[in-house]
Chains A and B, each alone.
Chain A
C-alpha cells in the first residue's frame, strides 16, 4: 500500500494531512516540478513587494515531509500516468507505482492571444520563479504593464508599486475585478490605485507587444502606445490538465470528481485547482480555484484514499482580496441573477460598502469592503443554508452578530445547548 500525490501545494498538503488522520504508516510520495519545499502561492506578491523572504514562504514547517513519512521528489515533472499499470512515469524516466493516486496539479496561466507574448520580459504571475524573474527587472522607477485587472493582476500591481515601479494595468472590461466587483466597488478600488499612482486603462485591450527580442511597450486596440520595461500577464488561470489530456480520465474544464474526490478511474483522485468538484451554491460541478477549497478537497481525497468515506459537498468561492489599504472579502454568488435579490449599503463617509445576495430565504453571497469584521458569520449563514427571513433586515449592520439572530438559532449556533 502506498500513496502518490502529483503536486506539492495546498491540495497536496491537505491530502497528506487527510491521509495521516486515518493511516499513520503507509508511505506517501509527493512529486512536483517546482524544486521548492511546499510554499504559499499567494505569498509571491508579498515576496515581490519585499515583505516576506523566500525562507518564510513555507506553507508547512521544514519537518513536514519527515514528520508525515513523505518522500518528496521535487524539481521533476510527471510525464505520463499509466492507469493500467498504476504507475507514474517521471521526465527522468523513473517509474513510481501507486496503490492510490492523487492528481493535484493545480492551475496554469492562460496566455492571452496577443502578438508578441513570447518576447523577453513578459512574465506570468503564478509561481515563485515568476516572482524571482520579475524581481530582477522591477527596479525603482522602471515601467511595467500588467495585462488583466483580475485579483492576481492587482496583487502584482500592489507589489510593484510598493517596489517603486510605475505601473499601468490594462483590462478590456469597464471595471476592475469584474467577476466580483460592481461599479461602486470598482470605483473605490480605482481611487485606492490612484492614490498609489498606479494607472488603470479600462475598456481597451492590448493588440501587440512591441520590441524586437524584449518587450519595450504595448500597442492598444485604440492605437495608443504604452512604453514599458516589462510586462506581467494576468489574464486568468485554467485547470492544469496537461498531464492527463487524451487519456481515459474524464475531463471537462477540470478533472471531474464526485463528492469523495474520486475520478472515473478506480484509485485515482483529484483535488484543488485542477479538479471540477461540486459547487454547493451553483449546485453543479465547477472549478473552485481558491485555497480553502483546495485544502478541503485535498483533505477529503486523502481521507478517502486511506479508506474513509468522507464527503465534501460544501465547496464555493470565498476570497479575501486585500488591495493596498482596502480590505475586501467576498463569498458565494457575486453577480445578480434570476431569483436573487440584492441589498447594498454604501457609506461614503466611512468608505465602506456591503452587498448581499439573497435567494429565497437564504443568503447566497456577499461582498464587503473595509468593514469586513465578522464576515465569517455571513459565510456560515451561506454554508448552513440558514433561513434568514426573520433577521434579513439586520444584515450589514456595523455591529451585526449572533445577538440579532432569534434566540433558538443563536443557542444552536453559539451557546451550549
Chain B
C-alpha cells in the first residue's frame, strides 16, 4: 500500500458483533513493530523485550472489540503534547510520536479521548500508539490478520474530534 496518499480521514474501525476477543490483532501488532517484522515465532521466542501492542482490546465476555488511534483531524494528543514530540504529518495525515523527543510525561494519555496511547517502559519511557504500520509500508497488521474481519479501514470523515 502506498502510504504517501493516505489522506487524513482514513481510520480503522471495529465490528463488535464479530470480534471474538482472540487478540490475534495484538499478537500481529507486536510482531509488526518488532525487529523481526511479522515473524511471529522469532518475535515471541527470541526477543528479550517485546514491543507493546498498539491496539487496545476491550473485553467483557462475550463482548469485545479492538480500538486504536484514529489519527484525528483535530488531535487532542498533539495539541496537549508538552514537548512537541507528537505531531500530525500533514502529508500522510498520520499522528506520529517522535520517540527521540518524547519524555514519557503522559500528557497525551490524559488528553486522548479514545484511551489508545500506552505507557511504554520497555526502553526509555515513551508514549506508544498506532502508527498505521507506517514503517512496514503494508496494510495495518491488525486489520490484515483478524480472522473474522472484525477490523476494517474506512475512508470516513466521521471523527470524534470536537
Contacts and interface: CB of A to CB of B under 8 A. Distances in A.
Interface of A: 14, 40, 42-43, 46, 51-52, 56, 58-60, 291-292, 295-296, 299, 314, 318-320, 322, 327, 329, 331, 372-377, 379-380, 383, 399, 401-404, 413-417
Nearest to B64: A403
Contact of B162 (A46, A60, A295, A383): A383
Nearest to A327: B106
A170 B84 CA distance: 32
A52 B80 contact: no
Nearest to A38: B84
Contact of B60 (A58, A296, A380, A403): A403
25 contacts: A42-B83, A46-B103, A56-B100, A296-B79, A318-B110, A318-B111, A319-B110, A322-B106, A327-B106, A329-B110, A372-B106, A373-B109, A374-B109, A375-B109, A375-B115, A376-B114, A376-B117, A383-B162, A401-B67, A401-B115, A402-B58, A403-B59, A414-B14, A416-B158, A417-B158
Contacts, number: 117
A383 B83 contact: no
* Smallest CB-CB A-B distances: 8 pairs: A374-B115, A380-B113, A376-B112, A292-B80, A403-B58, A320-B107, A59-B84, A377-B115
B111 A292 contact: yes
B90 to A, nearest CB: 10
Given A374-B109, A402-B67, A402-B115, 17 more contacts: A40-B83, A59-B84, A295-B79, A299-B79, A314-B162, A320-B105, A320-B109, A320-B110, A329-B106, A375-B109, A376-B111, A377-B113, A377-B114, A402-B58, A404-B60, A414-B14, A415-B16
A414 B82 contact: no
Contact of B65 (A318, A403, A417): A403
Interface residues of B, number: 41
B144 interface: no
A375 B100 CA distance: 24
Contacts of A404: 60
B113 to A, nearest CB: 4
Interface in B3-58: 13-14, 16, 56, 58
Contacts of A320: 105-107, 109-110
A380 B64 CA distance: 21
